[in-house]
Chains A and B, each alone.
Chain A
């Protein structure tokens, strides 16, 4: 059971480039989300999805797009990378979206540097 798989592990982009961070889970989880982690800021929610075809914004959605065409996959797209998007990105999933106290399962992160 692989859990939550993120690719790539590391990425360097130039300002203005676009890219997609991949996330896949094999636990048939309903809920998937993306967080970014910056020093001293903890984890901040970017976007989340409560099921295939349904996405919504978190705390810091600007500059990012998501889609959820299947239960398993939840890619995060950077449309035009900026140095402020230099961060570590985590994908996380949970069994259901509300009311059941289910914990989040995290991937191992993608370390992104934008120069």
Chain B
């Protein structure tokens, strides 16, 4: 049961441009997290936004959350070739006995130098 769906599946931009990725989910959440995966490596946590927050910033990253539309976006400003990676959203709900992070299918970002 996939909770998150990222859009677009793939994105190619030039260095210096901004990259925007979107995530839609199906059920209520307590937080939404974004992770990055470089080719052949494990995922690395980027940023977490709680359900009562609408926007959060971390360096060149800006995340928004719209719980009424069940969607989030990740903006990377002034992209660099080193930002080339896959980006995943993951949602968490505290309703069960143990929280589980459910991941989306990811967006593959290619930043051309």
* Residues on A facing B (Cβ under 8 Å): 4, 31, 33, 35, 40-45, 48, 50, 56, 58-59, 90, 92, 97-99, 101, 103-109
- Residues B50 and A101 in contact, CB atoms below 8 Å apart: yes
| A104 CB contacts on chain B under 8 angstroms | 33, 35, 43, 45, 90, 101
- Residues B105 and A41 in contact, CB atoms below 8 Å apart: yes
Interface: B98 (CB within 8 A): yes
Number of interface residues of B (CB under 8 A): 29
Tell me the smallest distance from the CB of B16 to a CB of chain A, in Å.
29
- Residues B99 and A108 in contact, CB atoms below 8 Å apart: no
| A99 CB contacts on chain B under 8 angstroms | 94, 99
Tell me the smallest distance from the CB of B60 to a CB of chain A, in Å.
19
Given contacts A101-B31, A101-B48, A103-B33, contact A109 B42 (CB under 8 A): yes
Q: In chain B, residues 10-64, which have Cβ atoms closer than 8 Å to a Cβ of chain A? A: 30-31, 33, 35, 40-45, 48, 50
- Residues B100 and A40 in contact, CB atoms below 8 Å apart: no
- Residues B99 and A98 in contact, CB atoms below 8 Å apart: yes
Q: Which of B98, B104, B106 contacts A97 (CB 8 A)?
A: B98
- Residues A106 and B99 in contact, CB atoms below 8 Å apart: no
Given contacts A56-B98, A103-B48, contact A40 B42 (CB under 8 A): no
| B101 CB contacts on chain A under 8 angstroms | 45, 104
Given contacts A48-B100, A50-B98, A98-B98, contact A42 B105 (CB under 8 A): yes
- Residues B2 and A42 in contact, CB atoms below 8 Å apart: yes
Interface: B1 (CB within 8 A): yes
Pull 25 A–B residue pairs with CB atoms less than 8 Å apart, ordered by A: A33-B100, A35-B103, A40-B105, A42-B2, A42-B88, A43-B103, A44-B103, A45-B100, A45-B101, A48-B100, A58-B100, A59-B1, A90-B43, A98-B98, A101-B31, A101-B50, A101-B92, A104-B35, A104-B43, A104-B101, A106-B44, A107-B42, A108-B40, A108-B41, A108-B42
